[in-house]
Amino acid sequence: MPLLKIIDKDRIIETAAEDGENLLQILRREKVYISAPCGGKGTCGKCLVRMESGGSARTVPACGISVAGDAVVKTLSDEDGFSITSAFMGEERFTGEASGGFGLAVDIGTTTVAICAVDLASGGTADVYTTVNRQREYGADVISRIEKCAGHLDDMSASIKNDILDGIRTLLGNGTVTAGKIGKIAVVGNSTMIGLFLGEDCTAMGKIPFTVPERVANGATLGFREHFGSDLLDCPVVTLPCVSAYIGADSVACALFLDLMDHPGFNIIADVGTNGEILLFDGQSLLCASTAAGPALEGGNITCGMGGTGGAISKFRYSNGEYEYETIQNKPPVGICGSGVIDITAELLANGIIDETGLFADEGEIAVCGGIVFNQKDVRQVQLAKSAIKAGIYSLLNVAGLEPEDIGKLYLAGGFGTNADLDNAVAIGLLPGNMRNSIVSAGNAALGGAVRFLCDENAADKVDRIIKLAKEVSLGSDPYFSEAFMEFMGFE
């Protein structure tokens, strides 16, 4: 029976393995987090470890290794510096409750988790904690997590609860809030993330007719001690309801935070990510759509793509025949994150290195620096993503009988609107050019909505109204969307 010595940052774990046992499965069993965006299918090459055995050392993907002898394994994944958006537009905008005390607003993202400690009397932010969602070891996207419900549901549920517990412990350790003064917790996230947090099997959300578990659909109120199995706090935990399998509690929270149905005129919220959610109130119904943009705008499915962590190329410019770039935390470049992907595409287009169809003029790729490249496949991934988002926006306008000029504000929610160069996003046709002056970055509006739910005594009624008036538009069966998607594949 092979013996493994696992070195994970400042931890050393010694364990026995079965002959032929998969290394990634061993790491999961020993609670060693390692990012595996493809869920262990062997397609992303991101779950790299340094493995020493038989007198030799090599860097290998853990999911592709069957253990055959004693070895030393060192994890290489470093996501501690992940760029996570926790700020939201107009943070101290709520009246607050006269009772005072503190609440915790939690936004469970597919990639990241943000926790905001809020003063219930003032509505102001007292402290913030952010981290990577460790469920990433089961896959980078929602579909991967849904597929992993068979056999890994308890593990994924425990993973997110542990992430949140770690965050609460950190906030308490910072001294800005005390356990006895935390009166309630509000949790938002997409429908799958809420389902996994509640320990619900989400398998049915991944196939027609996309059935949502009752507690996810309606929201749930839980006891902290019972749900987390911890005496750290003693307060209710509330999850906000969702509209459907792909219009989740995070979208509901965005609509709540931005008063989408009470602003004058017509306004849009677009949460640009792997699953782009778009909301538009037409005066009678809250039109909602989800468009599968894919992970390219977050650095996924890109040859040298990565999340927004240290060393990711986040800004790019082509000047006088030279490539200029900036990296997150000014670390040596190791890959390209979403904002860098947009900048590179825009610069290639502006300088004629790719044409309006996305075709490279010469070599089929550029060497950004060192071994980091951006190639024809990457351009096609960007085209698919940007076309899905823009076609989704235009499809809701079409359903509402509106023109782009009728829109007062296009709110961009999430990390995309905070980090991306919006002029470049317009230049590549991701966002409508005729709406450029209407685009406003709202930051983490989902987290802001969770804060508002804690502080606004009328928030529960407003959420009920959002759910009641929500009308999902199925883009997959919309002929207009199909035509617009093909039309927007090219670069403007």
Q: 271-294, pLDDT tens digit by residue?
A: 987 778 999 999 899 999 999 887
Lowest-confidence pick of 38-52, 306-320, 342-356: 38-52
Closest alpha carbon to 315 in 305, 324, 307: 324
Question: Measured at the alpha carbon of residue 309, what is the angle toward residues 308 and 311, in degrees to the nearest 5?
Answer: 110
What is the average pLDDT value for the chain, to the nearest integer?
A: 89
Supply the pLDDT for residue 423.
94
Residue scoring higher pLDDT (92 or 150): 150
Q: Is the pLDDT of residue 261 over 50?
A: yes
157 with 197: CB under 8 angstroms?
yes
Lowest-confidence pick of 23-32, 188-197, 318-327, 371-380: 23-32
330-355: per-residue pLDDT in tens? 989 989 989 999 999 999 999 999 99
What confidence tier does 315 reach under pLDDT thresholds 50, 70, 90? very high
127 with 175: CB under 8 angstroms?
no
Containing 490, the helix (H) or strand (E) segment is: none
Dihedral angle, C-alpha 186, 192, 193, 197, nearest 10 °: 80
Domain 3-75: which CATH class? alpha beta
Lowest-confidence pick of 26-30, 426-430, 479-483: 26-30
Write out the DSSP string of 367-421: EEETTEEEEHHHHHHHHHHHHHHHHHHHHHHHHHT--GGGEEEEEEESHHHHHS-
Supply the pLDDT for residue 227.
98
| Averaged pLDDT for residues 244-265 | 94
CATH 3.30.420.480 domain locations along the chain: 102-253
DSSP 241: P
Q: Is the pLDDT of residue 255 over 90?
A: yes
| Averaged pLDDT for residues 51-58 | 78
154-199: per-residue pLDDT in tens? 999 999 999 999 999 999 999 999 999 999 999 999 999 999 999 9
HSE of 235, CA atoms in CB hemisphere, 13 A: 19
Q: Is the pLDDT of residue 77 over 70?
A: no
Supply the pLDDT for residue 264.
85
Supply the pLDDT for residue 99.
58
CA distance 111 to 91: 23
Bridging pattern class, strands 3-8 and 11-16:
antiparallel
Which of 62-66, 76-80, 247-251 is most confident?
247-251
Bridging pattern class, strands 335-336 and 322-327:
unpaired
What confidence tier does 44 reach under pLDDT thresholds 50, 70, 90? low
124-164: per-residue pLDDT in tens? 889 999 888 889 888 878 898 999 999 999 999 999 999 99
What confidence tier does 98 reach under pLDDT thresholds 50, 70, 90? very low
The CATH H-level superfamily of 102-253 is: Domain of unknown function (DUF4445) (3.30.420.480)
pTM of the model: 0.85
Three-state secondary-structure class, residue 32: coil
Lowest-confidence pick of 302-316, 342-356, 460-474: 302-316
CATH 3.10.20.30 domain locations along the chain: 3-75
Closest alpha carbon to 369 in 338, 329, 340, 339: 340
| Phi, psi (rounded to 5 degrees) for 122 | -100, -20
